Structure 1
Amino acid sequence: MFASRRSVISHILRPLAALVLTVSCGLAAAQATKPIKLMVGFPPGGGTDAVARTLAEKLKDELGVAVVVENKPGAGGQLAAQALKASPADGTVLFLSHDHTISILPLVVKNPGFDPAQDFVPVAGFATFVNALAVSAGTPAKSFNDYVAWVKTQGAGKGAVGIPAPASTPEFLVKVVGEKYKLDLVSAPYRGSAPMMADMLGNQIAAGVGSVPDFMENHKAGKVRIVAVLGAKRQASLPDVPTFTELGLGGLEDLPYYGIFAPAGTPKATIDHFGQALAKVLAMPDVNEHLTKMGLTVGFMSAQQLAQRERAYTQVWAKMIKDSGFQPQ
């Protein structure tokens, strides 16, 4: 009787189990073919956008799904970060960002609308880079010292310097340079590096501070001139450009980073899968060469390594911002 009863139960459950398996596989397959949205917090045409599109093109082949770059500019990446927080934690929405949005914004904005430690998880890092001071080709300055001397001739040392976002590391750098050389420099914030670059190319603003990738293409074309870079040593792609340390501005050696982040709660298996694909892409000679020419120092960082890098960088800048007397807005 018991055998008969087990047979009946088995007869009922077997089709049900098959149905559950079919539905589960179907959902997994649907999820696996869903496109991945790679958000960027700055407009098209800037350095971060160019980096994202370079990676997305190769990642789609490694992952077997479309990887679509979506620009969500505004407030130095703040809007994109808020959008990431509200996104599903299933690996279909990721955020490619540099240090400003993740490390700096929470230090300078009272209510940014997100907390990186609570709302995001690191996926993988892929590069470090340096910020730089560049001058417009419309100025006579050929070097950093030339620029300082030129500014001093402009109405008692007054000068406007473009920055990609307010309350950013470029803004603090402008402040440090002004204090060091007794220049009345004023930061002019833009909504990303692309509009800043447009004004520099049109000689509407004499100088700008941003990442080397923001300036590199136009520097090579002679349309702007990079005259100084951050970091402990000169950049391989800019061997003739001195560091701020060489110029007497120490304490600016810690390098910003680029990384990819996901909403909190994203499964570890999903994060690992994407990280493995990114590692393969970065190992491709053409990708490595292209990103290096843009001014990046390419190097894969696991989720854990990116988290460590982010914490260390944040600690350095938390002290610098506090020491500057800046009050969160």
Structure 2
Amino acid sequence: MRHLIQLTCSALFFLASTTVIAYPTKPITIIVPQAPGGTNDIVGRAVAQRLGEQIKASVIVENRPGAGGNIGTQFVANGPKDGHTLLMTISSAQAINPALYKNPGFDPINDFIPIAMVGAVPNVLVVNPTFPAKNLDDFLKLVKSKPPGTYQFASAGNGTLNHLLGEMLNQSYGISLQHIPYKGVAPALNDLLGGQVQIAFASLPSVLQFINSQKLVALGVSSAKRSPVLPDVPAIAEKIPGFSGTLWIGLFAPKGTPKSVIDKLQSELQATLANPELKEKLQASGVELSNMTPAEFAKQLQEDIIRWAKIVKLSGASLD
């Protein structure tokens, strides 16, 4: 009888092991809670393609925009916990929305397990070519000399990172650019390119092509140091010490996903991000790849939640 019990336990262990090894058993869907065309969408699709090749499975990107990223994030938080529905999101949604919205509908810490930070990108202070200032020094002098509200800046919406960076610029330099919120990156860029609004902060990957084609003029980057992709464009911190705000992109699974699945996803994603072609593609678009461990990423998220909550409070931004 003891021998039979041992055999049964061994068989159950073998079946459990086989189940783990068999993951994934169906296509993996990566939910991007922002509209197509933004940084998260660009990076998410590049990573999904290589992850699918690495894990030998179909990896699909599905955009579920709305409420600043809350709709797609809630969808994953409330979805299946089997590793087949994941969240690729950005710091503005995961770290800022909990302070911005009275009820975002998710808990960024308790509803998710960090798999990996893919990388980070600066925002770029860009202007339409018709704007009179063509460099950061002239821009700061010009806007400082004009009455409040003379110039407007566009953002992808209230409380987004590019909105808060504009407010940070107002506060740190004593100016009053008027905020014009749009419903997403694409409409904001369309009006910026068309000249309906002349100033914006936008993530580097979303505007790099327009900077290179001279359809937009880059004045400064929001990272603490210059971007290797735009070495001639100064960091705003060179003129305004302490000014800094980058956008990170990370992959999450809903809390409750089995540890064995999380471990495999972390291992496979690490191998994916080491792919030379993917690294070159992401770095060329302005993404600085991360080497954080999942634990370090979790700590970074907690610190960012506290940091941005203070900035949201100072800005007075609040959404229902």
Question: TM-score scaled by structure 1?
Answer: 0.86
Change (3 A) 1:281 1:168: same
Q: Secondary structure at the match of 2:119?
A: strand
Q: For 2:263 and 2:243, how far apart are their aligned partners in 1?
A: 33
Q: Any conservation in 1 of the 2:222–2:237 contact (CA below 8 Å)? A: yes
Shift of 1:73: 1.1
Which residue in 2 is equivalent to 1:76? 68
Which residue in 1 is equivalent to 2:123? 131
Which residue in 2 is equivalent to 1:5? none
| 2:165 is equivalent to residue 188 of structure 1 | no
Farther-moved stretch of structure 1 (96-105 vs 171-180): 171-180
Shift of 1:57: 0.9
Identity rate, percent: 32
Change (3 A) 1:29 1:173: closer
Asked which structure has the greater CA Rg, the reply is 1
Which residue in 2 is equivalent to 1:317? 308
Q: For 1:29 and 1:269, how far apart are their aligned partners in 2?
A: 9
Change (3 A) 1:22 1:182: closer
Which residue in 1 is equivalent to 2:288? 297
Shift of 1:29: 8.4
1:35-184 aligned at under 5 Å gives the runs: 35-151=27-143, 157-184=149-176
Farther-moved stretch of structure 1 (203-212 vs 67-76): 203-212
What code does the residue aligned with 2:130 have? G
Question: TM-score scaled by structure 2?
Answer: 0.88
Q: Any conservation in 1 of the 2:24–2:84 contact (CA below 8 Å)? A: no
Farther-moved stretch of structure 1 (193-202 vs 50-59): 193-202
What code does the residue aligned with 2:61 have? V
Q: For 2:277 and 2:12, how far apart are their aligned partners in 1?
A: 45
Q: For 1:288 and 1:315, how far apart are their aligned partners in 2?
A: 31
Q: For 1:60 and 1:242, how far apart are their aligned partners in 2?
A: 37
Q: For 1:159 and 1:295, how far apart are their aligned partners in 2?
A: 28
What code does the residue aligned with 2:43 have? V
What code does the residue aligned with 2:31 have? M
What code does the residue aligned with 1:65 have? A
Q: For 1:156 and 1:265, how far apart are their aligned partners in 2?
A: 50
Cα RMSD between the aligned structures? 3.1
Cα deviations across residues 270-301 of structure 1 (Å, max 9, x unaligned)? 11211111111211221111111111111243
1:160-239 aligned at under 5 Å gives the runs: 160-239=152-231
Shift of 1:99: 0.4
Q: Any conservation in 2 of the 1:59–1:281 contact (CA below 8 Å)? A: yes
Shift of 1:26: 9.4
Q: Secondary structure at the match of 1:184?
A: coil
Change (3 A) 1:116 1:284: same
Q: For 2:244 and 2:62, how far apart are their aligned partners in 1?
A: 32
Q: Any conservation in 2 of the 1:282–1:300 contact (CA below 8 Å)? A: no
Q: Any conservation in 2 of the 1:282–1:299 contact (CA below 8 Å)? A: no
Q: Any conservation in 2 of the 1:144–1:227 contact (CA below 8 Å)? A: yes
Change (3 A) 1:179 1:27: closer
Q: Secondary structure at the match of 1:130?
A: strand
Which residue in 2 is equivalent to 1:266? 257
Q: Secondary structure at the match of 2:223?
A: coil
Q: Any conservation in 1 of the 2:116–2:252 contact (CA below 8 Å)? A: yes
Shift of 1:34: 0.5
Shift of 1:177: 2.2
Q: For 2:296 and 2:13, how far apart are their aligned partners in 1?
A: 37
Farther-moved stretch of structure 1 (309-318 vs 26-35): 26-35
Farther-moved stretch of structure 1 (221-230 vs 62-71): 221-230
Shift of 1:31: 5.6
Shift of 1:127: 0.7
Farther-moved stretch of structure 1 (176-185 vs 284-293): 176-185
Q: For 2:17 and 2:312, how far apart are their aligned partners in 1?
A: 51
Farther-moved stretch of structure 1 (204-213 vs 23-32): 23-32
What code does the residue aligned with 2:251 have? I
Shift of 1:118: 1.6
Tell me, which stretches of 5 or more residues in structure 2 are unaligned?
none
Q: For 2:290 and 2:186, how far apart are their aligned partners in 1?
A: 25
Q: For 1:327 and 1:64, how far apart are their aligned partners in 2?
A: 43
Q: For 2:13 and 2:238, how far apart are their aligned partners in 1?
A: 64
Shift of 1:195: 2.1
